[in-house]
């Protein structure tokens, strides 16, 4: 074997090891404020008052992938409060917050190409999201491009709501859900 062939083989093996095929997948998540990125962070804040109340936070994101196998995974932080006063058992907890997630296909994306994983296929609690929780199974690609201008995508709508007819400790409760799009 000549030196150029050995060098080419070495570089080829090095690139495969450093950049596995899966990492080269076209994956993007966008919302109205972000450019394509495989990670998006969604912050939320609740401020319960002394009367019965409903407080909701909602948002939507678009998922584009050129791979048939992709997954949406989430990790949650909070809700937590640094200024709530009273018995900590009366603080807002993740299982006090309802979570609705829906997924729709737009453009040329296959309408059956993205499937919510249980328990997210129905209303559940925010406590269902822990660290690295699997939410959506993407079984079809949305298109051949991840450009934010591409009209073929999966839209994921998220809505968090807090409603209780008794008193929570007053204060601001903050948290964040990080959504990560992966190609396993």
What are the structure tokens assigned to 29, written together?
């998540």
* pLDDT score at 136: 95
Provide the terminal-to-terminal Cα distance of the chain, rounded to the nearest Å.
36
Note if the pTM is more than 0.75: yes
What are the structure tokens assigned to 147, written together?
């450009």
pLDDT along the chain (184 residues), means of 10: 47 41 58 68 81 79 89 94 85 92 95 96 96 94 85 92 78 91 85
* pLDDT score at 9: 40
H helix and E strand count, the chain: 1, 10
Q: Is 170 exposed, middle or buried (0-12, 13-18, 19+ CB in 10 A)?
A: middle
133 phi and psi angles, rounded to 5 deg: -80, 130
* pLDDT score at 1: 52
């Amino acid at each position: 074997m000549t030196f150029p062939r050995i060098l080419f083989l070495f570089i080829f093996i090095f690139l495969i090891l450093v950049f596995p095929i899966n990492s080269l997948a076209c994956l993007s998540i966008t919302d109205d404020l972000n450019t394509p990125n495989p990670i998006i962070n969604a912050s939320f804040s609740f401020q319960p008052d002394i009367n019965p109340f409903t407080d909701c936070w909602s948002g939507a994101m678009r998922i584009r992938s050129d791979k048939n196998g992709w997954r949406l995974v989430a990790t949650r932080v909070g809700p937590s409060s640094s200024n709530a006063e009273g018995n900590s058992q009366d603080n807002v907890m993740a299982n006090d917050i309802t979570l609705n997630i829906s997924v729709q296909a737009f453009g040329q994306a296959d309408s059956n190409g993205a499937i919510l994983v249980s328990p997210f296929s129905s209303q559940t609690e925010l406590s269902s999201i822990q660290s690295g929780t699997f939410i959506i199974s993407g079984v079809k690609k949305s298109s051949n491009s991840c450009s934010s201008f591409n009209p073929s995508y999966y839209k994921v709508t998220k809505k968090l709501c807090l409603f209780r007819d008794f008193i929570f400790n007053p204060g601001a409760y903050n948290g964040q859900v990080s959504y990560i799009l992966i190609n396993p």
